[in-house]
Structure 1
Amino acid sequence: MVINQQGEDFTVKKTAIILAAVLFFSTAGAAGYLSIPFTISKNNQFHKELNQSDYDSQNTMNRLTEIMDKNEADSLFIMEGQNVLAEYGESDQISNVASVRKSLISALFGIAESKGLINVDRTLEELGIDDTKNPLSEKEKQATVEDLLKARSGIYITSLGESKDMKEKRPERGTYSHNEHYYYNNWDFNTLGVIFEQETGTSLGEAFYEWIAKPTEMKKFQPSNVVYQESEETSMPMYRFYMCAEDLTRFGSLYANNGKWRDKQIIPENWIDASFEAYSEITDVDRFTGYGYLWWLEKQKDQMLQWAVGAGGQYVVVDRESKISLAMMNNTGTSPLGVFWYRTFDGGEEPYSDVRDVFELAKNSIMKRQK
């Protein structure tokens, strides 16, 4: 029997080339698929540029640049009233706002209540709300919508988006009745999204777009900027908001200006007052002193600030006294591959102290100008 060595070598090389090609195109295809963003946002036609305030001296801008250059933040936008005070980085780049989402839907509940679409005093039982993967007890069903807004539902079961710390701090099921105990509870927050859509017949994205984004002439937000995640462990899906720093600051400006955009009332002022009431004393997060309707509260001496905070370095700060609103954001990835890259190679976020420094810088600049 004669063995054709040359023929065998050719076959081996040919097979290796085919396998290499298959591996290359499979890898490229997978990378391409994983690079598709969760949501794509274009500029809105109704967007209008904000007026530019007469910002402070070059020294102030130099200090602002110094703070931003040393931390991990990708963008910053600051408003005084409804004018631009300062801008840094890619303030029109959309990103996952993480837990800032909770403050966003708090506003939607306030507007829905004013429209007569939602009654925050109704119980889960009255609304027919249940977690089919973890059925609620009769006691748990007595929690009201307002209890969930305060993170005081007394329902302690698995939820999407829980951090390790949240899981470790979760009380044993049945430990407390509704409104007896504060616990930063993703089950409450996710279920609020379900309740809102059930009671209004409108998706979170559509409602935010029509009720808030359009009236405030946001730059990027569209209904598709809200996406959902589901799990086999709970029937309550988690909603995610994707926004840019400028649009988040416009949102914060509503709260800084008692619910108004220009001369139009967008969020009822009494809802904002209620949102910034401290229903729970916060002792496990050093920088905050209370929790309202999905807003963190910080009281220092005679100053009261309101915060929306998300993992990865997403911040919104509101000061009603000086009418300052600011958003500082980190791009944590807008696609599966981008999220993986951020978590593996970046993973940092600017500390609270840097955000506080930026706020103080803005407020001091305004005070100097007013003298």
Structure 2
Amino acid sequence: MKDPVFSRRDALATLSAAILAPRAARADSAFAPAATLARGLDQLHALLISQDGALAVAQTFRGPDLDTPVNVKSVSKTLVSALCGIALERGEIPSVDAPVAPYLGRVIPRRGDDRLRQISFRHLLTMQSGLTPFAGSTYGGWVAGDHWIYDALSAPMVADPGTERLYSTANTHILGTALANAADTDLHRLAQERLGDPLDLALPPWTRDPQGNYLGGNDMRVSPRGMLRFGQAYLHGGQLDGTRIVPEAWVDASWRHTAPADIPGHAYGYGWFLWTVDGVQVRYARGYGGQMIYVVPDRRLVVVMTSDISRPATMTGHLGRLHALVEGVILPASDRA
């Protein structure tokens, strides 16, 4: 059973109730209330708010400092999506509609479902591969296996490719491995060279599967300031400080509706969630526990939040409070700033 979704009034009331001994925050005056409210969320570690390229809030409430790489959980899926757009521009893959099987070597099961060879890069990006999903309660068993990609491809298909969104880290792990193979490198080196270096951020090595493939879609580590720079690049059509990071056409494609998301009223693109608040389009990356990058093009706004990765974030709890902070406090302040 899915968690019920807060109404706007309920979410804001819950946010207010979560405040613990608020203190004055060092922040731009328009966003100071947001920083003060954020301090009271005991699961929240850090908050950064940038508008028009100016850093209005840069607060660490608990946990590592703003320059220390932290586990961004499924924000990794959004980073892998960016790498797919870069690979497409470089000609390493011919199209998002190209089958992914030729980029996986001999890992496709010989007697596997015929539909496996129909799965495209687009299907993996949009979580519409049709593969059995491995996320949430099924994630632990999957990563305890001996061959994560083979196991994902061997499990019974539950839908035709392109017909149903089934959120799964296996999708982006397959995608990340295919992109690394297409570039004849590993996913860590690919991410550092194509995202880390141009954005001036360090991407330390992270989890690998038993075959040595870096996990695509989870456990990447990025500093909060690095997350902000990534969000700013998307805000500016894929470039930052005059350096092209991601093709502008890929940014546009990533922010198009492909399927409904797990939160009613929200949608999913290429690794990004899509949300409209009072006519204002909000695009966000989301990771377990409350690792967030919000990009609001109409307000020239980027918001980054990092949180305790050991605690869940649901719409009846921490995630609902983070969305409420954006909807009820940050967005109104951005209209006045």
| 8 Å Cα contact 1:318/1:324 also seen in 2 | yes
CA distance in 1, matches of 2:136, 2:291: 16
CA spacing shift, 1:357–1:194, aligned 2, 3 Å? same
Partner SS for 1:321: helix
CA distance in 1, matches of 2:326, 2:235: 13
Match of 1:78 in 2: 49
| 8 Å Cα contact 1:131/1:236 also seen in 2 | no
| 8 Å Cα contact 1:278/1:297 also seen in 2 | yes
Matched-pair identity in %: 21
CA spacing shift, 1:272–1:145, aligned 2, 3 Å? same
| 8 Å Cα contact 1:77/1:328 also seen in 2 | yes
Superposed CA offset, 1:220-275 (max 9, x none): x13xx2323325xx997634311111111111111111112022322111101110
Match of 1:352 in 2: 319
Moved more, 236-245 or 101-110: 236-245
CA distance in 1, matches of 2:195, 2:242: 14
CA distance in 1, matches of 2:56, 2:165: 36
Match of 1:274 in 2: 253
Is 2:165 the counterpart of 1:187? Answer: no
| 8 Å Cα contact 2:227/2:304 also seen in 1 | yes
- Largest Rg, 1 or 2: 1
Displacement of 1:197 after TM fit?
Answer: 0.6
Partner SS for 1:178: coil
| 8 Å Cα contact 1:299/1:305 also seen in 2 | yes
Match of 1:367 in 2: 335
RMSD value over aligned CA atoms?
3.0
Show the 5 A alignment for 1:234-249: 238-239=215-216, 240-249=219-228
CA distance in 2, matches of 1:359, 1:298: 11
CA spacing shift, 1:265–1:63, aligned 2, 3 Å? closer
CA spacing shift, 1:67–1:154, aligned 2, 3 Å? same
Is 2:182 the counterpart of 1:204? Answer: no
CA distance in 2, matches of 1:185, 1:306: 20
Instruction: Specify the code of the residue in structure 1 equivalent to 2:249.
Output: N
Match of 2:137 in 1: 164
CA spacing shift, 1:306–1:101, aligned 2, 3 Å? same
TM-score, length basis structure 2: 0.76
Displacement of 1:348 after TM fit?
Answer: 5.8
CA spacing shift, 1:245–1:135, aligned 2, 3 Å? farther
Displacement of 1:71 after TM fit?
Answer: 3.1
Aligned length: 289
Match of 1:322 in 2: 299
Instruction: Specify the code of the residue in structure 2 equivalent to 1:278.
Output: H
Displacement of 1:307 after TM fit?
Answer: 1.4
CA spacing shift, 1:134–1:69, aligned 2, 3 Å? farther
- Equivalent of residue 103 in structure 2, options 91, 111, 127: 127
CA distance in 1, matches of 2:304, 2:53: 14
Show the 5 A alignment for 1:10-29: none
Match of 1:136 in 2: 112
CA distance in 2, matches of 1:185, 1:80: 33
CA spacing shift, 1:206–1:82, aligned 2, 3 Å? farther
Displacement of 1:320 after TM fit?
Answer: 1.4
| 8 Å Cα contact 2:206/2:214 also seen in 1 | no
Instruction: Specify the code of the residue in structure 1 equivalent to 2:123.
Output: D
Unaligned runs of 5+ in 2: 1-25, 141-151
Moved more, 234-243 or 72-81: 234-243
TM-score, length basis structure 1: 0.69
CA spacing shift, 1:321–1:130, aligned 2, 3 Å? farther
Match of 1:285 in 2: 263
